Structure 1
Amino acid sequence: MSICSRRGQLIEGGAMTDGAEAVGPLVVCAGQVVADLFVPPLAALPEAGELVTTGDMLSGVGGCSANTAVALASFGVRTLLSVVVGADAAGDWVRAHLAAKGLDVSGVVTSDRLATSQTVILPVTGQDRRYLHAVGANAEYSAAHAAAVAAGARVLVIGGFLSLPGLTTPDVAALLAQARAAGTRTVLDVVIPHGTRDAAERLAPVLPHVDCFTPNDDEARLLTGETDPHRQAATLLDWGAASVVITRGPDGAVYADREQVVAVRPLPVAVVDGSGAGDAFTAGLVFGLVHDWPVERRLRFAAAAGASVTRALGTTTSLFSRDEAIAALDDVPLLEMKDT
């Protein structure tokens, strides 16, 4: 399937087909980047003073915005990443790693004050993951950084809202409103730090400017007070989002807009590490938006992409290629599809 850029050049899977130079990014992913250290799954956390040996640890680039951008680039979509790193070895490595993945890193800004954000991921078999996180240079990221590179993008994806102190509600609302007025579709993801008490109040003014809001079920529960995904989605639609996708881990995902509800089960895979699954899912949704796919196809592609990264340690290590994800579409079970 082809779409036209703003200058009428044909794009197939994000690549120019007429030999002309690319106009600019098809998608801008903005917000959060992290230098990650993944520990292999542990039988149990060590006791005080105890030494536990593991398999090889994995260093990788993570953060919801970077993960989504890497996945989109791997699917062949021209993608620019807008983030802040430190003036340190980790920042240099992050920039080089992302460029090698095919991303446009011209939106990667260097802080002269804060170090590159880092996270240690501690998975324990049979339990949810634990994280040790240093916010670092992510604290300096603002809507102005995204606005500086978003012009002309087909889709703008904001990741990590509510966890990045520089992304304030008025500024994000204004950014997304301006983007939509220019014809850019807007996608918003959130990260809600433990103990946050004003998440709903900060989010609600932004949602009327969001084409697709993508919380997980825990985040949706914290925001709405509802436990049922359909009621969660209904509440978020009432707050103004044009559509909502609630990811539910092993229970799949629920999409809702004002006309329809579609739910899918996950693609069956042997799970090793769930890190990055939601971000790959978001990339799959955005890929479908770029290609104007119907909702059911978007969800199935997203579910295939999200499941694929859980097969190995890291956020993108085992990510399906575009063709692999398309081939897996029919293996993603459709749970529900109805008009509202």
Structure 2
Amino acid sequence: MTPAPDILCIGSVLWDIIGRTPSHMRLGADLPGRITQVTGGVAMNIAVTLRRFGLRPALLSAVGRDAPGEALTAEAANMGLVIDYLYRSEDLPTDRYMAIEGGNGLIAAIADAHSLEAAGDKILRPLEDGRLGTAQRPWDGPVALDGNLTADLLARISASPLFRKSDLRVAPASPGKAERLLPLIDHAGTTLYVNLEEAGLLCHREFANSADAAKGLIDRGARRVLVTDGGRSASHGDGSGVTTQVPPDVLVTRVTGAGDTFMAAHIVAERDGADREGALARALRAAALYVSGEAPT
């Protein structure tokens, strides 16, 4: 039998196609660089980092039975991720994400998660058919959930008995999908991981810094939040107040996946017993190592 996973990662599992150049880019620029294809998607990125820290994460997502899907699941299995609970579709293609990064950061990105959206609640079947839980005996461990799911499915998750005992760690996936998380914002078991722009979209206002954004989200009804602001600051907010730290100063060589690394490292730090200061510091260090091109520790 497959050993029980330590955490469930629910959301996008796909191929990342990333074009990077060390030069600063402007609209319409055509520059030399490198193009890579790597495993990606918010749920996948979080799972990979969790595995690197010694956890056994299971993926709940939709992956096609096409050639890209077979290659993706084989790669995930080789990395030690639990793929037994993936919804494998015969007629939906494996999703993809494409991004352009320059020396001045992320220039543009397109996420094609249409198959995940089309699969809908089929990806949650293991949580109700007894493999990972049932409505009467729901999964009571941690769940990393991303906003690539449809707004309707996220709203249903917020009210579902399948998640009533879960420790929900939730990330929007991108600013364009931030408002999908509104039904989950005041869910009793939810911790939100957002950047400054996403916090502003959830609160329908602009914030000057991560501390103001964390307070704004708590005032909005969130139980617990982590707000990042690139290399400037990150804040942890809950009913007891707001803690803010500045990340290590590093040379940025990549951007895509940094927020996912931060979230995974924070989850592991808390699992290891770190307090709010220690967990935030460890997450910031891991994200800084990641963007500098090193493996987070």
TM-score range normalised by the length of the shorter chain: 0.7 to 0.9
Contact 1:141 1:166 in 2 (8 A): no
Counterpart in the other structure of 1:291: 272
Give SS of 1:129's match: strand
Q: Distance in 1 between matches of 2:152 and 2:144?
A: 13
**TM-score of the two chains, using structure 1 as the length reference:** 0.75
Contact 1:40 1:123 in 2 (8 A): yes
Per mean C-alpha deviation after superposition, the further-off stretch among 104-113 and 216-225 is 104-113
Contact 2:103 2:253 in 1 (8 A): no
Residues 1:211 and 2:195 aligned together: no
Runs of 4+ aligned residues of structure 1 deviating over 6 Å after TM superposition are none
Counterpart in the other structure of 2:109: 131
Unaligned runs of 5+ in 2: 134-138
Contact 2:157 2:163 in 1 (8 A): no
Q: Distance in 1 between matches of 2:65 and 2:207?
A: 43
- 1:129-168 equivalences in 2 (<5 Å): 129-143=107-121, 145-146=123-124, 148-149=126-127, 150-151=132-133, 152=139, 154-159=141-146, 161=147, 163-165=148-150, 168=153
Letter in 2 for 1:273: R
- 1:79-228 equivalences in 2 (<5 Å): 79-143=57-121, 145-146=123-124, 148-149=126-127, 150-151=132-133, 152=139, 154-159=141-146, 161=147, 163-165=148-150, 168-175=153-160, 178-181=162-165, 184-192=166-174, 194=176, 200=179, 202-209=180-187, 210-224=189-203, 225-228=205-208
Residues 1:72 and 2:53 aligned together: no
Q: Distance in 2 between matches of 1:242 and 1:260?
A: 11
Counterpart in the other structure of 2:5: 25
Q: Distance in 2 between matches of 1:167 and 1:100?
A: 33
Question: Quick one: structure 1 residues 259 and 144, their matched pair in 2 at CA, closer, same or farther if it must change by over 3 Å?
Answer: farther
Give SS of 1:215's match: strand
Letter in 1 for 2:144: V
- Residue 113 of structure 1 deviates from its aligned partner by 2.5
Q: Distance in 2 between matches of 1:147 and 1:179?
A: 13
**TM-score of the two chains, using structure 2 as the length reference:** 0.85
Residues 1:36 and 2:21 aligned together: no
Contact 1:212 1:245 in 2 (8 A): yes
Residues 1:237 and 2:218 aligned together: yes
Unaligned runs of 5+ in 1: 1-20, 313-317, 326-340
Question: Quick one: structure 1 residues 157 and 74, their matched pair in 2 at CA, closer, same or farther if it must change by over 3 Å?
Answer: same
Q: CA offsets per residue over residues 261-318 of structure 1, 9 Å max, x none?
A: 2111112322101111100000011112322321111111111111111123xxxxx3
- Residue 193 of structure 1 deviates from its aligned partner by 5.8
Letter in 2 for 1:247: T
Q: Distance in 2 between matches of 1:141 and 1:214?
A: 25
Contact 2:175 2:201 in 1 (8 A): no
Give SS of 1:168's match: helix
- Residue 213 of structure 1 deviates from its aligned partner by 0.5
Counterpart in the other structure of 2:136: none
Give SS of 2:289's match: helix
Per mean C-alpha deviation after superposition, the further-off stretch among 220-229 and 92-101 is 220-229
- Structure 1 or 2, whichever has the larger Rg, is 1
Contact 2:9 2:60 in 1 (8 A): yes
Letter in 2 for 1:218: E
Letter in 2 for 1:179: F
Contact 2:211 2:234 in 1 (8 A): no
Question: Quick one: structure 1 residues 104 and 241, their matched pair in 2 at CA, closer, same or farther if it must change by over 3 Å?
Answer: same
Q: Distance in 2 between matches of 1:235 and 1:260?
A: 11
Contact 1:118 1:133 in 2 (8 A): yes
- Residue 141 of structure 1 deviates from its aligned partner by 4.4
- 1:301-312 equivalences in 2 (<5 Å): 301-312=282-293
Question: Quick one: structure 1 residues 87 and 263, their matched pair in 2 at CA, closer, same or farther if it must change by over 3 Å?
Answer: same
Residues 1:261 and 2:249 aligned together: no
Contact 1:142 1:166 in 2 (8 A): no
Number of matched pairs: 284
Contact 2:87 2:122 in 1 (8 A): no
Question: Quick one: structure 1 residues 166 and 106, their matched pair in 2 at CA, closer, same or farther if it must change by over 3 Å?
Answer: farther
> Percent identity at matched positions?
24
Q: Distance in 1 between matches of 2:101 and 2:151?
A: 29
Question: Quick one: structure 1 residues 244 and 46, their matched pair in 2 at CA, closer, same or farther if it must change by over 3 Å?
Answer: closer
Give SS of 1:119's match: strand
